[in-house]
Structures are given as structure tokens and as C-alpha cells.
Chains A and B, each alone.
Chain A
Amino acid sequence: MNARHLAALLCALIAALGLAGCGGGETRVETGNREQVLHWGNGTEPQELDPHIVTGMPEHYILIALLEGLVLKDPATLEPIPGVAERWEMSADGLVYTFHLRADARWSNGDPVTASDFAWSWQRALTPSLGNSYAYMYFAIRNAEAFATGKLADFGQVGVEVLDERTLRVTLDHPTPYFLQLLDHYSMFPVHRPTLEQYGDPYQRGSTWTRAGHFVGNGPFALDQWELNKVVVVSKSPTYWDAARVKLNAIHYYPVENVSTEERMFRAGQLHITASIPPDKIAVYRKEAPQLLHVEPYLGNYFYRLNTQVPQLADPRVRRALAMSIDREQIVEHVTQGGQQPAYTFTPPDTLGYTAPPGFAYDPEGARQLLAEAGYPNGQGFPPTELLYNTSEGHRKLAVAIQQMWKRELNIEITLNNQDWKVYLDNVDNGHYQIARAGWIGDYVDPNSFLDMWVTDGGNNRTGWGDPRYDALVLQCAPAALEREARYRCFRDAEALLLEAMPVIPIFFSTRNYLRQPGVRGLPANLLGYPLFKQVYLQVGDVQSDD
């Protein structure tokens, strides 16, 4: 190789990398504002776009643009508003819902959306061979659980009835005040039967019906492009019944897993909105660009599970002592720093009008007393106990802080152990832990979403704790109550039992923290982080966000 070859190669390389002609110009966000194209940071690559298979938030944000259920939610109040159903009636006993579908609801290929579409889609969603993790969202419907678990083979006995192509009647097993909310969850969205049948077995995974070019949906947007690990593009659907109100022309969803990369993309004008924000950047934005930072209450909590089968944690006094000696104000102010609320109950405040019973308070003196009563005065004789968390800087910081508080207030030794996510899940699921970090996000805004998980041997309980009185309150008292106040009384009594026994230590209620360009409008804050994309629009120019 001589110098001439070397120079030629170097030139070719620079040209290939496209060094010429870069920098400056309009950013993607500025172009998007002009053209009403929203650039959305969407976390991870969607697993699938099949609403009856997926389980995550990135998929949720795409599916609510592509598909629409019977009912939508008002993003400001989270109250149900008409979707495919233009109106509905509920029987006096709260068991029978009759939905009247609008005449102009259309699939993106022009076919009408009918009651049979819903009945077939729901049957599919419940068919065991599909392996739908969210099948339980249907279990309020009569016999849905029996069908989903294979105990019932005839879908005709499930409480879903097509009265005519524009009328669907749903019969519930028990009154379920949050039933209308569930209809807006993607697991209850309809799918287009002819398309599914064209691209494989509709009752098995592995179909290609969700690819761009194949996908037929009924939402305000249609799927244009799905490039693996790069972008999902949806554009305004001309066949959508409310197309006149859809202001955005397209949404581009970017699967940006790394939060620092996402923040840099936001800063460089490549994203209108991020999925999250690196925790250490919150303080910086709060100081330098507060108009871009959004900190919104979120329907989730952060807590520690206690394995009640472990001898030293079997005594509720010890569990309460551990809970009472954590200074949560310090934690949210100095450790998490993301606007979280200290949690002294399990259910987040004002979950659709429900207020939890008074829980406990930060009381190190009382905690020491309880620990002494349990046989460990000044922590003496308390066996070394391990706190398990999945590997993450945030969980580690919190665990270290709490470890120190327990040492200081109770004089007990807690060791920390971090594990890879799947190993951690396996150990918690099998009860191979003593204290383990956990979080929960409600599927719907109702205390049931936070309290039914603690019934004896519930799949998400995993603490070994159970109390027949609690089970009766959650599984019998609440479902049988017709009045909201009576129902909430059952939940309050149940939660009081839970906090007395303390198989879990609530730490804080979550917030949703993210960055958003000021021109993005029509996205009011709500507990679920739920956007109604047909109301979203982009305003050009220097504006202050006010919603």
C-alpha cells in the first residue's frame, strides 16, 4: 500500500461516512411542529403489535393509536367517553351492559366495525393456546375465567352476546364498577378477523398480521412502517369515525432503551417527548429548564416484600418495626428526588375517590419498642437478614439508605444482595428471599387493582401472608356491595388488616417523570399517563405548556 492508495482510501471513507453537508438546519422537532408529526420516545422495542399477546407500556402507546375499544377515557378525568360504542346502558343490578356501536366505525380497509368483531376478538383473546397474559382483564365477564382456563370449551356460555351487528350485550359475574375502564385496555381491543386469518393461525403466536402493510386497525392512526429497533410510524387514518378531530398527521415512536441517549436526543431536538429522564438530570432540569420537565403523579407504588415464612419476619411486630423506622420524607427528598410521595398506606391517595385508612407513621421510638416486645431489645439477637433487589443504581441507593436507617434506629444488620432481573424474579416467585424490593402499577384506577393481589396464595402475593378475613373482604364483601361507599368500606377494612399485618412495607408513591417540548398540546396529566392521541397537537412558536 503506498501513500496514494492511502489517501484515496481515506477520502472514500470520509465520503462514506457523509461528513460533508452536516450540521445546522431545522431539527426534527421543528419540522414535526410544522407538519404535525409527533416524535415520541417509546422506551423499548415493541415485542409485538398484537393486543392479545403484548404486556408492556411501549406497546400500549402504539396500540391506542392503531386500535380503539368500545369505550375511551377522557384524559383529563379518566371518566369513560364513547369510543366504538356511541352509548351504553347498565342494568340496575350492575350486571348487564348493553353497548350500541356507532354506524360509522370503520376498519382501516373500509370494513364496518361490528359487534361480531368484538365477540370474535374477545373469544380469541381468551383462547388458552394464544397465551394471553392479560386474559384476567376479562374475568369480570360471566364464565370468561372458565373459558380462559380451559374448563369451558363453549364460548356461547360466556357472557358476551351479539344482539345485532350494532348491539353487544355483556353479562358480568358480579358488579364491577371499573368494568368500563377495562374496555379501554388493549387486551380488550378488537382485531380484524379476515386479516388474522389471512396471515396464519389466529389462535397461535407467530403470525405476521401485525406487520406494516398487513395490519388492519380501527383507531385514529394506521400503521405505516415498523423498522426493528429503529422506528414505528403511524399516520392519520382517513377511515376513522372521528378523523375530523384528529390533528396530528403522524406519530413516530422511537425505541430508545438508554435513558441518557434519550435525554441527548431530546436536547438535540430529535424527540418531542421522552419516556423517562435520568434521575440525576431531574435537579438540573428543575433548575435550568423547568418548563421542559414534567413530574406527574402516577398510579404506582414502591415497596418491600417481607417473606413471612422467614422466622425473624414471621412476627407482625417485627414487620411493623421495620416499616415504622424508615424516614420516607428523607428518602423522597434526598434519595429518589423525583417528586415522589412518601407512602404510609398501600393504595395511592385518591384512587377514584377511595381514601385508604390511616396507616402508620414514622416512629423510631415505637419501632424500637415493638422490636423489643418481639424479643429483640435494641436489635440484640436479630439474625442477619438479606435485602434483595434487581440490579439498578436507583434500587441500590434506596437499599443503602434504608439499610442505614435500620442500623441506626433498630441496631439490626441487613445485608444487600442485587441480582439480574430474571434471577431476582425467579427467587421472589419461589420464596427464596427474606426482604425484596418491588413495585406495582395499577391496571385500572380502582382500589381493587392494589388490594386483590394480597389475597391468600394470590399469584402476585409472594409473601406467604394470608388472612381469611382479608380474603372475605376483598373477594366477597366488595364485589357484593352495590353502593360505592359500601364497597370502599370493605376495601378500607381490608387495607387496615393488611397494614396491621404488614407483609409489605410501602415506601413511596410513584411519579412519572419525563421531558416534553413546550409545543406539545392536548396531553393533560393523569394518574395513568394516558394520552388520547386524537386530541394531541403541536403548536409552532414559543409557547408555555399549560395543560
Chain B
Amino acid sequence: MLRFILHRLLQAIPVLLVVVTATFFLIRLAPGGPFSADKAVAPEVLHALEARYRLDQPLSAQYLSYLGDLLRGDFGPSFRYPGRSVDEMIFTGLPATAELGLYALLISLLLGTAAGVIAALRPNSAQDYVPMSAAMIGICLPSFLLGPLLILVFGIWLDWLPVSGWGNVPGDKLLPALTLAAGYTAYVARLSRGGMLEVLAQDYIRTARAKGLPEWLVVCKHGLRGGLIPVVAFAGPAFAGLLSGSFVVETIFQIPGLGRFYVQAAFNRDYTMIMGTTIFFAVLIVAFNLLADIAAVWLNPRLRQQYRKPAA
């Protein structure tokens, strides 16, 4: 297992280097710079700004000095928010985004698995069609539509929940978490239904039933372990996706998270901020994929066996 983890960690280094290099040069190819504005900027002001942020140096020198800073863990100052460093902005925005992503992940795993298992128990019956149709709607409904709909119903008509904010008043985290979770819940439901259907047809399940075990024990103990492998494989990348894809939900619900910086940075040509957030999310995606792989190995006895023996 350790071998497997080390191997995967070494693989991550070239991946991240490619991400850093490609992002660095691609954003500089994009027309318009961080300091272009509607009102003309005087040439001397522009020179001062470019000198301040080393943009007056050749691109290769900028790239090398950026890599140097990066190795020291310094993402540099934000161009758009001159009084703040990119590090500070990422770590200010991260808690809200991580919390939102975690709630959304938990909601999608709980509701999605429950729906998937219920559907798999009686395939091609109403018990299957109802949750799976709901899941289909969940996949199709984009968050920029679902969010305002939920706000309209629960925030404005019923006046049960706040329409925006994060951690200001009780209950303001529920609607954003549900909105972000909807699409993922639906995926989880479909994945767990498929996984369960496959597992429940296996011989060892028949054996368990033949032993006279009650049905809930068969499903929960023997069925879930195998049936949830696809869900586990999905959960890691899904969490990274929830973190990096929360821009729309953060904007609709006015949440002070990272997603807004990520997207706004690109519009503003805030080079250092684009680099910082992209690298940060790339690291997250690599890390969660690795965690998902480890979990899959742990859940699947056959894979575990394979990694126990050193390769010939």
C-alpha cells in the first residue's frame, strides 16, 4: 500500500508542473492585461505598476522567479487587490468553500445512496422509477436555476430560511448546501443503484440469503460494501469538484468563499490570483483522486491483494 501511495505521489509532481507552466503562459497569451481599464491609464502609471509586479521583465525571467516564489510557498500579491497576498485570499475564502463543499458532499452521499439502494431493491418498479426520475431532474437542473427557485419558495414565499449570507443567522447554510448538492446527489443515486444491482446479483449475496440472514442485513452489510465502490471512487473527485465548482452557488447566496475569487480572477486578468487558485485546486484534485484510489483499494479485497505482493 505504501508503495502504491509513493508511486502516485511521484506521478503528481510532473502533473502539477504542467499545470503551473501551461496556466502561466496561457493567461499571458490572453488579450488585455491586469491594469487595462475603461478610463485610459497614463503611461507612467502603467510603467510603475509593471515594475512593481515584475511585468516589465522578459516572460522567461518572470516564469523562473514565479517558480522560485512558489517553492517558498509564496503565491505573490494579488494584482486586483493590491493590499492582499494571494495566500491570504485563498486561506480567507477556503473555510466557507470547504464547509459548503463538505455539507454538499454529505447530503449527496446520504440522500444519493439511500435513493440508489431503494431503487435497486425493486428494479423497474415505482420504487425504482420515482427516485431515479427525481435524480434525472437533479442532474438536469442547473444550480443557477435551482438556487433562486429554492430561495423564492423557502426564503421569500414561506419565509423559513434566509435568502443569503453564510454563518450570520441560523439556517443560512441549508439552501446553498442543498443547491450545490443537488446534481451530485443525483449522480450518487445513479451510481449506487448500478453498483447495488450488480452486487445483489452476485453468488455471495445468494449465499447470505440462503443462510437465512434478514434482508436488511444482507443489503446493509454485504451489499453496500461492494455496491458502494463506484460511489467511493466518485466521492474524491466529486469533493474537489464541489470545492472548485462552487462559484455559482457562492454568488447566488453571497457566500465569502474561494469560488468567486477563482472565476473573478480570470475576468480581471489577476495573473497571480489565477495561478494561485488554479494550483491550489489542482493540488486538491490530485489529492482527492489519490484518497479515492486508496479507499477503493481498501474496500476491494482483490485490489488489496494485488498491492500486497510486490510486482515482479
A contact residues vs B (CB 8 Å cutoff): 1-3, 6, 9-10, 13, 16-24, 45, 47-50, 53, 55, 128-133, 135-136, 148-150, 204-208, 210-211, 227-230, 254, 256-258, 260-261, 264-265, 267-268, 270, 420-427, 429, 439, 458-460, 462
Task: Please state if A206 and B83 are interface contacts (CB–CB under 8 Å).
Answer: yes
Task: Please state if A9 and B110 are interface contacts (CB–CB under 8 Å).
Answer: yes
Task: Please state if A17 and B177 are interface contacts (CB–CB under 8 Å).
Answer: yes
**Among candidates B31, B41, B159, B252, residue contacting A258 with C-beta atoms closer than 8 Å:** B252
**Among candidates A207, A422, A426, residue contacting B267 with C-beta atoms closer than 8 Å:** A422
Residues of B within 8 A of A420 (CB): 32, 267
Complex alpha-carbon distance, A260 and B163, angstroms = 11
Task: Please state if B254 and A265 are interface contacts (CB–CB under 8 Å).
Answer: yes
Task: Please state if B163 and A268 are interface contacts (CB–CB under 8 Å).
Answer: yes
4 new A-B contacts at CB < 8 Å, known A228-B84, A424-B32, A425-B37: A3-B216, A17-B177, A55-B37, A421-B267
B224 to chain A, nearest CB (A): 7
**6 nearest A-B residue pairs (beta carbon):** A422-B32, A459-B40, A22-B171, A229-B256, A18-B170, A205-B82
Residues of A within 8 A of B40 (CB): 429, 458-460, 462
Residues of A within 8 A of B84 (CB): 228
Complex alpha-carbon distance, A439 and B39, angstroms = 10
B80 an interface residue at 8 Å Cβ cutoff?
yes
Tell which of A128, A136, A204, A228 has the most Cβ of chain B within 10 Å: A228
Residues of A within 8 A of B156 (CB): 264, 267-268
Task: Please state if A23 and B159 are interface contacts (CB–CB under 8 Å).
Answer: yes
Residues of B within 8 A of A228 (CB): 84, 89, 92-93, 256
Against A, the Cβ 8 Å flags (1 = close, 0 = not) of B30-65 are 111100111111101111110010000000000000
Residues of B within 8 A of A425 (CB): 32, 36-38
**Among candidates B38, B42, B151, residue contacting A264 with C-beta atoms closer than 8 Å:** B151
Given contacts A55-B39, A264-B156, contact A22 B169 (CB under 8 A): yes
Residues of B within 8 A of A149 (CB): 42, 44
B220 an interface residue at 8 Å Cβ cutoff?
yes
B7 to chain A, nearest CB (A): 30
Residue of A nearest to B268 (CB): A422
Task: Please state if A264 and B164 are interface contacts (CB–CB under 8 Å).
Answer: yes
Q: How many residues of B contact A (CB 8 A)?
A: 67
B226 an interface residue at 8 Å Cβ cutoff?
no
Complex alpha-carbon distance, A265 and B80, angstroms = 26
B162 an interface residue at 8 Å Cβ cutoff?
yes
Complex alpha-carbon distance, A265 and B168, angstroms = 14
Given contacts A47-B81, A53-B82, A265-B164, contact A422 B254 (CB under 8 A): no
Given contacts A19-B171, A50-B83, A270-B164, contact A128 B267 (CB under 8 A): no
Task: Please state if B45 and A22 are interface contacts (CB–CB under 8 Å).
Answer: no
Given contacts A47-B81, A55-B37, contact A133 B165 (CB under 8 A): no
**Among candidates A129, A261, A429, residue contacting B252 with C-beta atoms closer than 8 Å:** A261
Interface of chain B residues 1 through 44 with chain A (CB within 8 A):
30-33, 36-42, 44
Complex alpha-carbon distance, A49 and B82, angstroms = 10
Given contacts A23-B160, A136-B42, A268-B156, contact A257 B251 (CB under 8 A): yes
Interface of chain B residues 72 through 105 with chain A (CB within 8 A):
77, 80-84, 89, 92-93, 103
Against A, the Cβ 8 Å flags (1 = close, 0 = not) of B167-211 are 001111110010000000000000000000000000000000000
* Subset of 26 A-B contacts with CB under 8 Å: A13-B106, A17-B103, A17-B171, A17-B177, A21-B170, A22-B169, A48-B83, A131-B45, A133-B37, A135-B45, A136-B42, A149-B42, A206-B77, A206-B83, A207-B83, A229-B256, A230-B256, A257-B260, A261-B164, A261-B251, A264-B156, A421-B267, A422-B267, A422-B268, A426-B36, A429-B36
B contact residues vs A (CB 8 Å cutoff): 30-33, 36-42, 44-49, 52, 77, 80-84, 89, 92-93, 103, 106-107, 110, 114, 148, 151, 155-156, 158-166, 169-174, 177, 216, 220-221, 224, 251-254, 256-257, 260-261, 267-269
Residue of B nearest to A136 (CB): B42
Residues of A within 8 A of B114 (CB): 6
B91 to chain A, nearest CB (A): 10
Task: Please state if A422 and B269 are interface contacts (CB–CB under 8 Å).
Answer: yes
Task: Please state if B82 and A48 are interface contacts (CB–CB under 8 Å).
Answer: yes
Complex alpha-carbon distance, A128 and B43, angstroms = 10
Tell which of B37, B166, B216 has the most Cβ of chain A within 10 Å: B37
Residue of B nearest to A5 (CB): B220
Residue of B nearest to A208 (CB): B83
Complex alpha-carbon distance, A261 and B38, angstroms = 26
Tell which of A131, A149, A260 has the most Cβ of chain B within 10 Å: A131
Task: Please state if A17 and B82 are interface contacts (CB–CB under 8 Å).
Answer: no
**Among candidates A1, A22, A422, residue contacting B31 with C-beta atoms closer than 8 Å:** A422
Complex alpha-carbon distance, A288 and B97, angstroms = 37
Residues of A within 8 A of B160 (CB): 22-23
Task: Please state if A3 and B220 are interface contacts (CB–CB under 8 Å).
Answer: yes
Tell which of B37, B45, B103, B166 has the most Cβ of chain A within 10 Å: B45
Residues of B within 8 A of A204 (CB): 52
A390 to chain B, nearest CB (A): 9
Residue of B nearest to A453 (CB): B40
